[in-house]
Structure formats: structure tokens, C-alpha cells
Structure 1
Amino acid sequence: MKKQTIATLDYLGISSASICLVHCLLFPLLPFIPIGISHNHYIDLFFALLGLFVVVKILKTNTKWYIKIILTVSMVIIFCSVFFTLLFHQHTSLLYFGGMGMIVGHVLNFKNQRH
């Protein structure tokens, strides 16, 4: 894959992981604000699938092995958290760790591709 395509995937990955992390941090606060918005678990699943798409594309490149491990472990953590939320309707803190791992993995990959 070209470096430009990988950089675009990293921008998409960093952006979606950051938006997902903000979403996960803000939505638990919404019950305290009387605006009538409730949390939909399928939004979490959408962010997870978007992240999976980007990670799978990056895994097919010649990215360093430790970056692939960081991204893969982060995706596994995110999917475990999302499925736990969908099944039991309880949030776990795993999602925050997975989101931070995704951001770190994409930033490392972006910096690695620049050299």
C-alpha cells in the first residue's frame, strides 16, 4: 500500500478512536442533563466496526509487528466491552483502555510511516 493511503487510514483511525473515546466519556453523563437523549449501544458497535475496518487494512500492510499487536489487542478489548454492553446492558472500563490503545497504535503507525 502507498504511504499516503496508510496515512489516510491512520488519520481515520485516530479520528474515529478519538470521537469514540469522547462519546464513551460523555454519554454516561447524559442522564444527568435533562435533554431527552439516551445512550444507544449500537453506536458503540458502529464505532467498533469502523475501527475494525481500519485495523484490518493496516494489518495487511508491512507495518511493524508491535504496532499490529497494539491495534489487534485494542480491537479485541473494544469488541469484548461492546459485546458485554450489548448482552448485559452494563458498561465496562475496558472500552477506555481499548480506545486509548487504538489512538496510541495509530499514532505510532503514522510516525513509523513518516520515516
Structure 2
Amino acid sequence: MRIGELARLTGVSTRLLRYYEEQGLLRPARTAAGYREYGEEDTVRVWQIRSLLGAGLTTRVIAELLPCASGPVPVLEACPDLLATLRGELSDLDTRIEELSRSRRALSRYLATAHAPVADHAAGRAA
């Protein structure tokens, strides 16, 4: 199938499919005329990519994990370094969550200690 058909089947734009190819996530065959030619397995591969992206993984990490994936909602087999990669990603995510939580607490404190609401300032100018 051509790229337009893959885009229609997966709901992913042709532009994004080309990006996945640039990142090494898809490897379509080429016709003699240079057109991309995708197989049925590429439909599953796109669904795997979308699912892994939804988990917050980067395309670099996804490229490492795809050889270990099977099924449209990927089941990951125990490949070398798979657990270390996933644990590292989870640790990074935990660190980002902690940083965001600290930022949220600080913003909440600023909001709680703000003196006059904007509406009061506007009313004072009108008087």
C-alpha cells in the first residue's frame, strides 16, 4: 500500500509517517518509481509507535523498543537492555513530576499571597 492508504488506515498524517521514516521507526520498501510501499505489518508498527509516544517515550527510545514489540497495543518482550531503558525513562519521568510539583506549589503560594485581584484595580480606576 502507498503512504496515503497507510495514513487513512492509521489516522496518522503522511507528513508524520515520513517523520517516522526519518527517525528509523518505519522502513518502507520503494517501488522502481521511488514510491514508498508499505505492508500490513506497517499498520501495526504505526499503532505501536503511537501507543509508545502516548506513554511519553521519545522516538529515540521507541526505536530501541520496537524490535521487542508485538501486537498493535505493544507487548514488550524481554530484549537486552529493555528493562534498563524503561526504568531509566520512568526515573526521568518521576524527576520531571517532582520538579513540576515544586513549581505548582510555588505558583500556588504566589497566588495565595497576591494582594489585590485584578478586578479591584480596574474598579478603582473607574471611580
What TM-score do the two structures reach when normalised by structure 2? Answer: 0.28
Higher-Rg structure is 2
Point out the structure with the larger strand share.
2
RCO greater where, 1 or 2, for CA within 8 Å and sep 6 or more? 1
